[in-house]
Amino acid sequence: MEIQASHALMKICVRAAIIWIVSMLLAIPEAVFSDLHPFHDKGTNKTFISCAPYPHSDGLHPKIHSMASFLIFYIIPLSVISVYYYFIAKNLIRSAYNIPVEGNVHVRKQIESRKRLARTVLVFVCLFAFCWLPTHIIYLYRSYHYSEVDTSVLHFIASICARILAFTNSCVNPFALYLLSKSFRKQFNNQLPCCRARLLIRSHSMARST
C-alpha cells in the first residue's frame, strides 16, 4: 500500500515538473527577443523608452507570437477542458437520472450532489474563459499596433483590469469550490482553528452525554 502511494506521489511530482519545464520553455522567446526601444507618442509629441518584448525591425514577429500564444495558452486549453468537463458533467447528470429515487433520501442527496458537481465543473470552465480572454485580446491588439503607443486612460484601465483578472484565475478556484461544494466547505472549515475548537468541544460534550 505504501509503495503504491509513493508511486502515485512520484507520478504527480513528475507531471508537475514537466508542466514547469514546458512553461519555462514557452517563456524563452520573450526573454530572448525583449529589448529597450524608444516609443513616440503622437498625442503628446514625446518619446520615451520602454521594454518591448519583440524586435521592432520585424512587424510580423509580434503578430505570429501573439496568435501562437492565443492558441497555445487560451484556445487549446479551453477546448480541452471544455470537452473533458462536458463529458464529466454529462456522465454525472446521466448517472444521476439513472438512479432510482423511490422514497430513498440518501439516493436523492446523491443525485443532488452529482448535479451540483456538474455545475461546479461548468463554473470552472467559465471562470477560465472569462478571466483570461481580456488579457489575450489586449495582447493581440498591441501586437497588431506594435509601432504605435496607446496612452489613453481607457487602454490603461483595461490593461490593469485584464492583468488582475488573469492573476485572479489562479486563486479563485478554491473560493468557487468552497461556495459550490458542501464537502469541500466542510473539510476546509474543519481545518480552521476556530472551527476545530468547536468540533473538539462538541465531541467532548457528546462523549459526556453518552
| pLDDT tens digits, one per residue of 129-165 | 999 999 999 988 888 876 677 778 888 899 999 999 9
In a domain, 10, yes or no: no
Total structural domains in the chain? 1
For residue 168, give the CATH number of its domain. Answer: 1.20.1070.10
Q: Give the per-residue pLDDT at 205.
A: 54
In a domain, 100, yes or no: yes
The set of residues, in sequence order, having a beta carbon less than 8 Å from that of 161 and lying 6+ positions away, is 134
In a domain, 97, yes or no: yes
Q: Give the per-residue pLDDT at 21.
A: 93
Q: Give the per-residue pLDDT at 44.
A: 72
> Nearest CA to 127 among 89, 90, 176?
176
User: pTM for this one?
Assistant: 0.67
More reliable by pLDDT, 192 or 155: 155
In a domain, 48, yes or no: no
Supply the DSSP symbol for 71: I
In a domain, 166, yes or no: yes
The confidence band for 76, taking pLDDT boundaries of 50, 70 and 90, is very high
The set of residues, in sequence order, having a beta carbon less than 8 Å from that of 62 and lying 6+ positions away, is 53, 54, 142, 143, 144, 146
In a domain, 26, yes or no: no
In a domain, 64, yes or no: yes
Does residue 42 register a pLDDT over 80?
Answer: no
The confidence band for 169, taking pLDDT boundaries of 50, 70 and 90, is confident
In a domain, 16, yes or no: no
The neighbour count for residue 29, using CB atoms within 10 Å, is 15
**Which domain does 123 fall in, by range?**
59-197
